[in-house]
Structure 1
């Protein structure tokens, strides 16, 4: 029997497994499908919350902690697996003329370089941007990862470290007794460990209804397009009116994403494909020369105010939850995993755990 059983092998589950395994724990990772094929795979990989000054301090603090870990994490994964997560400091332009004061306050508080640039400077940074906005915020130090490659590297790293990975093994129920988690029911039987961690992303809320004090997490669909472009056509990430563009090293270009309340429906729609395509080409006419290689959707795990649950369950002593990161799973992943490991292993936590407790107030 393992020391720790983690339910859910997205970026949060895998990073948590890695953190605990490095600390010496025997870890089993249980996944209902294939590794990291849901929200973790589907996102853009920007290592920053979008419009970060709109979030509570608990998100900004965790994001800053993760940003300080990411370059080393990606170097370690690349070195151990040969898979490059493509950590790239490509900078982020944000069109937002109405929130300069809160943006400046946030940047000063969290030590983030930021300047206001006019449309001629935007054109210099992004020559292919048609009719650039009159003004934008320029954050030159914001990085990105290519999240599918990050997840592939994590999966290989966990296997090398001896983490027990069970895919195609859905958790179907809980075995509880006297305030203690006895195991997880699966089609193959009961799987047990000394400690269980729920890291099931958007599915955590529904699954936790079997528990006293369930968590409030719902799925929110996001659709995305991938253009098969060429290197150096678009140079930087840019966020405008809740739609972002992300250039990859090999020339592929992501454009997205939507926010849709569709329950657990992660299908794509022709209407959204057309709308995203028209908007992308309207901003960057050069994209009409490149085919749309993929169109997909993911289900984000939305908790109130976007604040994840990272805590021991208040009524079940050997159950922890690490879920509800909404659009910020990749952004917050390293610091989130470290905090969960700190709590589980009874180490001095690197971050104040109070805002992420199950009973903490959320906006």
Structure 2
């Protein structure tokens, strides 16, 4: 029997388990597939929201806390696992400037650095850019991580520190007299004093046996990957909700769609072609680069993009850490720390009120 059972092995579940283990808890992590292979694998790994000024303060608080710890977290995971998450502060270049005033006001409130770049200087920053914007916004401190490597590193760093059960689906959460007892899975019953659900897009379905399950719904996103050369694309570049992310080895990710298709994760030729057109518009050099792969993932969408982090009302010992929508990677360290604080009875690192399940969204 474990002190705490973590349901879900994405980056949210893995980092939550890590925080709990470091806090002295005996932890079992259960994942219906393989760890880190759902939305944690499918996303882009930008360590920032796409248009950060558009988000509620509750999301910004998680983002800012996480951004502060990300360099040390990636270094620690690299040392413990031998896998480099490739934390790369290459900056975020936003070519949409219609909301320039809002962006600058937001940055001033947050103490964040943002630069207004005039047209010729934009070309100097990104010589291969196909567009010729009169202005752009540059957030120079924004980094990206190679999210599949981040998940792999987090998983390997936990070897020997918890019990891991992959390819095992949770069928029911067991409760008696308002107190958590554990779960029933495809392999049997697992007893636990506390259970935290970090199941991403599947969280609402898993908690449907309870009154008022969290309003988390799957939102499909499709992406494509090119084989380019290092340095051809320098910044994470954003334009009209499409982003281009360079990796250290020259690969370039382009995303992403927003599709309400339920739990259907299949890719479509229509989305692939639309992403390809956006990629060529932004960086014409990609027309000559081989398109390596095309994939999709299911984001855990929640109202206003504010995740649910906290105790489940009316059931002692049941907690949730899910619903991060498009910002799972960037908010994962803060979300994991806050969830562990609440489970372990520590003083919360961040005000937990906005993330409570009963909080308005």
Is the TM value for this pair above 0.5? yes
Q: What corresponds to 1:20 in structure 2? A: 20
1:106 positional shift: 1.2
1:212 positional shift: 2.3
1:285 positional shift: 1.0
1:185 positional shift: 1.0
1:95 positional shift: 2.0
1:289 positional shift: 1.5
User: TM-score, normalised to structure 1's length?
Assistant: 0.98
1:142-199, Cα deviation, whole Å (9 max, x unpaired): 0110000001100100114x21110000011122211112121111111111100000
Alignment of 1:258 onto 2:257: yes
1:229-266, Cα deviation, whole Å (9 max, x unpaired): 11111111111000000000000000000000100011
Contact 1:128-1:284 within 8 A present in 2 as well: yes
Matches within 5 A, 1:17-96: 17-96=17-96
Q: What corresponds to 1:198 in structure 2? A: 197
Question: Could you say what secondary structure the match of 1:172 adopts?
Answer: strand
Farther off after superposition, 80-89 or 94-103: 94-103
Q: What corresponds to 1:97 in structure 2? A: 97
Matches within 5 A, 1:228-247: 228-247=227-246
Farther off after superposition, 272-281 or 320-329: 272-281
Structure 2: distance between partners of 1:127 and 1:342: 46
Structure 2: distance between partners of 1:243 and 1:163: 39
Contact 2:131-2:281 within 8 A present in 1 as well: no
Q: What corresponds to 1:318 in structure 2? A: 317
Contact 2:224-2:272 within 8 A present in 1 as well: yes
Structure 2, unaligned runs of 5 or more: none
Q: What corresponds to 1:153 in structure 2? A: 153
Q: What corresponds to 1:288 in structure 2? A: 287
Q: What corresponds to 2:211 in structure 1? A: 212
Structure 1: distance between partners of 2:87 and 2:185: 36
Farther off after superposition, 339-348 or 176-185: 176-185
Q: What corresponds to 1:182 in structure 2? A: 181
Q: Which runs of 4+ in 1 moved over 2 A?
A: none
- The number of equivalent residue pairs is 361
Contact 2:236-2:243 within 8 A present in 1 as well: yes
Contact 2:182-2:194 within 8 A present in 1 as well: no
Contact 1:212-1:315 within 8 A present in 2 as well: no
Contact 1:301-1:326 within 8 A present in 2 as well: yes
1:213 positional shift: 2.7
Q: What corresponds to 1:361 in structure 2? A: 360
1:228 positional shift: 1.1
Question: Could you say what secondary structure the match of 1:48 adopts?
Answer: coil
Structure 1: distance between partners of 2:222 and 2:132: 24
Contact 2:201-2:301 within 8 A present in 1 as well: yes
Structure 1: distance between partners of 2:299 and 2:197: 16
Matches within 5 A, 1:131-142: 131-142=131-142
User: TM-score, normalised to structure 2's length?
Assistant: 0.99
Structure 2: distance between partners of 1:131 and 1:319: 50
Structure 1, unaligned runs of 5 or more: none
1:305-333, Cα deviation, whole Å (9 max, x unpaired): 00000000111110000000000000000
1:17-75, Cα deviation, whole Å (9 max, x unpaired): 00000111111000000111110100000000111111110111110000001000000
